């Protein structure tokens, strides 16, 4: 007695869906590793030299970031479609790791500090301080 998909339409384990899910899952993990490798090649310097990423490394990050997001979404969507709870947990972990990697290993680095320079302070003989930027007392510094 043969069993076909027509008898049980909710059975979706056959076909290309599991293969797509596995390829997307492995690809997303590899993409996270590539994001880290690109970050290290852009910012790993020795002996006090200043490292700045070039245009190729920035482009590589952007392409890899988009590929990572697409692979994570495909893997997660495929697991949802196939109703696989345990693989959903795995894909959730990979999605969190991918989000963290894309933020932490961004090229160029994300600036968490304020890039504006701090105002310069001048102290007068009477002890009053004058900040650059201009006030009624201190016109333009």
Residues 71 and 138 in one domain: no
> Does any domain span residue 136?
yes
> Does any domain span residue 2?
no
> Does any domain span residue 6?
no
Distance in angstroms (rounded) separating the CA atoms of residues 21 and 89 = 13
Residues 33 and 89 in one domain: yes
Q: What's the chain's length in residues?
A: 141
pTM assigned to the model: 0.65
Tens-binned pLDDT, residue by residue, of the chain (141 aa): 455 544 444 444 567 777 888 899 999 999 999 999 999 988 888 877 778 888 898 899 999 999 999 999 999 888 888 777 788 888 999 999 999 999 999 988 766 565 666 656 556 656 566 655 555 555 444
136: containing domain? 113-141
Number of structural domains the chain divides into: 2
- H-state helical runs in 44-115: 55-81, 85-104
Distance in angstroms (rounded) separating the CA atoms of residues 17 and 23 = 10
Whether a cis peptide bond, with omega within 30° of 0, leads into 116 is no
Residues 98 and 120 in one domain: no
Cα 107 → chain centroid: 10
> Does any domain span residue 74?
yes
């Amino acid at each position: 007695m043969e069993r076909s998909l027509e008898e049980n339409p909710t059975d979706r384990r056959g076909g290309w869906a599991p293969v797509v899910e596995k390829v997307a899952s492995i690809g997303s993990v590899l993409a996270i590793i590539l994001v880290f490798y690109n970050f290290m090649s852009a910012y790993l310097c020795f002996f006090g030299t200043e490292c700045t990423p070039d245009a190729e490394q920035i482009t590589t990050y952007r392409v890899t970031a988009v590929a990572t997001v697409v692979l994570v979404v495909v893997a997660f969507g495929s697991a949802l479609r196939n109703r696989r709870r345990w693989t959903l947990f795995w894909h959730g972990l990979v999605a969190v790791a991918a989000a963290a990697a894309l933020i932490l290993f961004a090229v160029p680095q994300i600036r968490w500090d304020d890039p504006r320079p701090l105002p310069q302070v001048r102290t007068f003989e009477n002890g009053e301080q004058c900040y650059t930027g201009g006030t009624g007392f201190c016109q333009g510094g």
